[in-house]
Amino acid sequence: MRQVRSIWNGAISFGLVSIPIKLVNATESHSISFRQIHTEDGGRIRYRKVCELEDREVTQAEIGKAYEDADGTMIPITDEDLAQLPIPTAKTIEIVAFVPADRIDPLQMDAAYYLSANGVPAAKPYTLLREALKRSQKVAIAKYALRGRERLGMLRVVDDVIAMHGLLWPDEIRVPEGVAADTNVTVRDKELDLADALMDTLGEVDLADLHDDYREAVEEMITAKASGEQPATTPSPAPGAKVLDLMAALEKSVREAKESRGEQPEPKETETKAEVRRISPRATPKQTPGKKSTSTATKKTTTKKSQSQSQSPTSAKKSTRTTKKTTATKTAATKTTATATAKKTPAKKATPRKRTA
C-alpha cells in the first residue's frame, strides 16, 4: 500500500492486548469540483470569514468552536476540553464484541478506513487479531472517538489488512415508515418467473469493470473547452414510455437483454398464437369459392357421361361404381383435397375403360 497520511493515531484494545495502529482513509473521491464565479466577468466568488462583532475578516488561527445554547448564547469548547473527556475511546478502538458479518445492516455502513500496525512491536498482536478474525469468520464491533464524537465501528479483514467501517448508531437509522407503496398489489407467479429470467439474463458483473461515465464526459468537455474546441454533444435519450402492461415490459426487457448479449431470443407464445390466427382467415376464402370447383366438376361429369355412353354396359357399371367411390371420397376429404382427387381420378380410370372396350 502506498504511503498515505494517517488521520488518527491510537491503539486497538483487544481484551488486555493493546495494538498500536494508524488510521488511514480507505476510500478517495474522484468527483470533479467547480469554483463559483461572477458570470459577467469571470471573477472568483469567495466566502470570507468575518467576525460579526468587529465586522472584519479573521484568520483560521483566530477561529475556535462553540456550542450555541437555546437562547443563542455561545459556549466556547476547546480541543483540550474534548481531549480530557472521561471516555476510554478517546485514543483507543475498543472491541466490545465479535458477531457474524450478516448481523450488520448495510444501512449502518459509513466511511471506511484501513488500520495499519504502528511500529515493529505492533506487528505480532496485529497479525494475531487478523488471523483470529479470518478463522472465526466473524467481524469485530468496536467503539472509537473521531472528530469530536464517539462512533461505532466494524473491523474485518481485507486481503492482509484489518479494515474498519464506521457504523451509524442504531438510533440514527430512520424507520422506513410511509416509504413503501401503500396500495395492495398482487404479483403473479408468471410475473415473478419473467423477473427471474431477466435477472438471469443480465447475469453478474465484475465491479472492477464499472466506471464513472459522467466524470469522464465532464473531463472531456473541460479538455475541449480549454483547447478552444466545441464540446461534443450527445442527443438526449428519449423519455421512457409509461409502463401499462407489466408482462409485456418484462418480456421485452428479457428479449433486449438477450439480444445485447448476442443470444437468440426465444419466440414468444403470444406471437405464435397471433400468427395462427392470421393464417386461418386467409385459408377460408380458398375453401369458400365454389364457382371454379363447380364448373370443373360439371365438365368432368359431362366427360364421364359421354364416355359411359360410348362404352359397353359392363364398362358403364364399372364407371358407375367408380363414380360412387369417388363421391364418397369427396365427402370424407376436404374440398381442396377433393378437387385434386377429382382431377386425378378420370385419368386413372380412363385406361381400364379403353382396355375393356
Tens of pLDDT, residue by residue over 295-326, are 444 444 444 444 444 444 444 444 445 444 44
Identify the residue whose cell numbers are 475556535: 64
Coil, helix or strand at residue 46: coil
Q: How far is the C-alpha of 120 from the C-alpha of 20, rounded, in Å?
A: 10
Rounded mean pLDDT, 240-265 = 72
Identify the residue whose cell numbers are 479470518: 134
- Condensed to tens digits (0 to 9), the pLDDT of residues 50-88 reads 999 999 999 999 999 999 999 999 999 998 887 777 776
Nearest in space to 166 (alpha carbons), one of 28, 9, 23, 17: 23
36 burial level (CB within 10 Å; 0-12, 13-18, 19+):
exposed
Nearest in space to 8 (alpha carbons), one of 20, 157, 347: 20
Q: Percentage of residues in the chain with pLDDT exceeding 70?
A: 69
For residue 232, which amino acid is it? A
- pLDDT at residue 157 tops 90: yes
pLDDT of residue 244: 59
Q: How far is the C-alpha of 160 from the C-alpha of 357, rounded, in Å?
A: 108
pLDDT of residue 241: 55
Least confident of 99-103, 110-114, 245-249: 245-249
What is the number of other CB atoms lying within 10 angstroms of the CB of residue 145? Answer: 21
**Residues present in the chain in total:** 357
Nearest in space to 93 (alpha carbons), one of 162, 158, 157: 162
Q: Is the pTM of this model over 0.75?
A: no
Nearest in space to 197 (alpha carbons), one of 126, 247, 125: 247
Strand partners, 158: 161
Handedness of CA 286, 290, 292, 294 (dihedral sign): positive
Nearest in space to 13 (alpha carbons), one of 123, 113, 142, 100: 142
Strand partners, 151: 144
Nearest in space to 271 (alpha carbons), one of 250, 248, 253, 293: 248
